[in-house]
Each structure stands twice: as C-alpha cells, then as structure tokens.
Chain A
Amino acid sequence: MDHKAPIHEFFGLSFNLSNVLMITVASIIVFIIAVLGARTLAMKPTGMQNFVEWIIDFVKGIIGSNMDWKTGGRFLFLGATLLMYIFVSNMLGLPFAVVVDHTLWWKSPTADPGIALTLAAMVVVLTHYYGIKMKGVAEYGRDYFRPLPLLFPLKIIEEFANTLTLGLRLYGNIFAGEILLGLLAGLSASGVFGILGGAIPMLLWQGFSLFVGTIQAFIFTMLTMVYMAHKVTKDH
C-alpha cells in the first residue's frame, strides 16, 4: 500500500512506467490469444478457435439482450476487445506483484485509477459519438428532454455519474483485491504460524479474486452495451 510508483517525466508529461509495462503486457497477451484463435480457421472449430468463438458468442448475447442486431452488430468487436482486455488485465495482478526497492512494477493495470477511468471515459465518449453519428445531432439533443423535459439536469448528471461509477467500480474491486493479496502474502511470509494461518485465506482470496475479476470484466462490457443502447436506439 505504501509502495511508490515509478513516475518518469518525458516532454513535460509524467508517465507511470509500471502502467506502461502492464498495459503492454496485457495488450500482447490479448493479441496472442486473438491471433492464435484465428490461425487456421475450420468450419468445425477445435481448440483455440473454439474458445475465441465462444467469447464472440458470449458478447453477441450481451449485445443482443440490449439492442437489435441491426443497430448493435457494429459493436461486437468493441465488446469483445473490452471483455478480453479487461479480463486479462484483472488476472495479471493475481499470480504475483513485483516490488523492486519500494517501487511497484508488476500489478493489474486496472488497479490504477487512471487506467480504469480512462477506459470508462473512452466508453462514454464513444456512446456520445455513436449517438450523434447514428441519430443525427437534432435527435441526439432531443433525447435529453425525453421522457420529461424537467429531468434535463438529471440527465446531464447521469452522464458524469455513469462515467465515474463505471471506472471507479472496476478500479475499486481490483485495487482492494490486490491490497488484500499483498497483506495475506505478507502474513504468509512472516514465520511458521504465518504460513499456517495464511495459507487457506490466501487460497480462498485468490479464488474469490479470480471470480471478481471475471465478473467485473463482464459487468463493464454489459454496462457499455446498456449505455450504448440508451444512446443509439429509440425506445418510448
């Protein structure tokens, strides 16, 4: 918890090199999974292709439960990328964390508030972009006054609240999990009674963190599609 972050300045901007490293690792892993899944495509999928097809099907289900396929189909790869990237990011911090003299280098990238909030902000900006692109500016503007024009300030606040909660939900879950993993690892490293007392909670907490990481990736993708559906389809 009191680990420093390796922050370096390039051209007047400060970069957290640990974030840069972890984002690169997550991107490479997702890229490898995707490339391996699409190598030799067969009509009857086996192995890796089966797994990636299952992911695509799962995202299709998420989109289908929010919008009709004609408007929603274009978001399939956005959803699949978000799901895989956030899932891999959440899992990276579970096996170990690497601290090199008081600076934390290896962690989940989503355990950093900047990264989680950037993902959320990008998603909300994308919903506005697609709202304007698919409905036109006039219709997009009029949607703020439906169903009741009185609720306009609430709709504005809703945009900011959605962004904040989307990002902070992901950050909070993964960060709190990592802190507890660190505490349990410290307990297990502090002598024989530490190992006896800390082994089972460590196992349980690792399992629970796996579950939470998966659920948070699913929730992020699901809420992305829900917000997209609010902006892009006409209900009422």
Chain B
Amino acid sequence: MNLIAAAIAIGLGALGAGIGNGLIVSRTVEGVARQPEAQGKLQTIMFIGVALVEALPIIAVVMAFIFQGQ
C-alpha cells in the first residue's frame, strides 16, 4: 500500500513539474527569439519560475520517500 502511495505521489508530481516547467521554458524561448537582447533578464526570471513551480513536486518526492520507508 505504501509503495502504491509513493508511486502515485512521485508520478503525479513528475507530471505536474514536467508540464509546468515545459510551459515556462517554452515561453522563455519564445521571448528570447523575439528579442535576443533580453536573454539575460528572461533567463533569470525563468530560473525563478522553475524553482517556484518545482517546489510542490519536490515536496511530493520527499513524501514519497517517507511513504516508501514506512
């Protein structure tokens, strides 16, 4: 039971992180393609966005390890 819970937690977390990060980076690439001089600023904002979006999936990973360990 614990392993199923861990698997669901990590699976859905990875799905969310993948889709979220994909959206962020794709918009950033689009922005840089339109205006290459803005690459520095857009890249910084991208990293901030990725870290914010990945916060909850990472918490899901930690919880999966906790479920699996019990």
Q: A interface vs B, CB < 8 Å?
A: 1-2, 165, 168-169, 171-173, 175-176, 179, 215-216, 218-219, 222
Contacts and interface: CB of A to CB of B under 8 A. Distances in A.
21 contacts: A2-B69, A165-B56, A168-B58, A168-B59, A168-B62, A169-B54, A169-B55, A169-B58, A169-B59, A172-B58, A172-B59, A172-B62, A173-B54, A175-B62, A175-B65, A176-B62, A176-B65, A215-B47, A219-B47, A219-B52, A222-B48
Interface string B2-40: 000000000000000000000000000000000000000
Contacts of A219: 47-48, 51-52
- Residue of B56, B58, B59, B61 with most chain A CB atoms under a 10 A cut-off: B58
**Interface range, B side:** 10 to 19
Nearest to B45: A65
Contacts of B54: 169, 173
Given A2-B69, A165-B55, A172 B47 contact: no
Interface of B: 47-48, 51-52, 54-56, 58-59, 61-62, 65, 69
A179 B58 CA distance: 13
Contacts of A222: 48
Given A172-B58, A172-B61, A219-B52, 15 more contacts: A1-B69, A168-B55, A169-B55, A172-B59, A173-B54, A173-B58, A175-B62, A176-B61, A176-B62, A176-B65, A216-B51, A218-B47, A219-B47, A219-B48, A222-B48
Contacts of B48: 219, 222
Contact of A1 (B51, B61, B65): B65
Nearest to A164: B59
Closest 4 pairs between A and B when the two form their complex, measured CB to CB: A172-B58, A169-B55, A219-B51, A172-B62
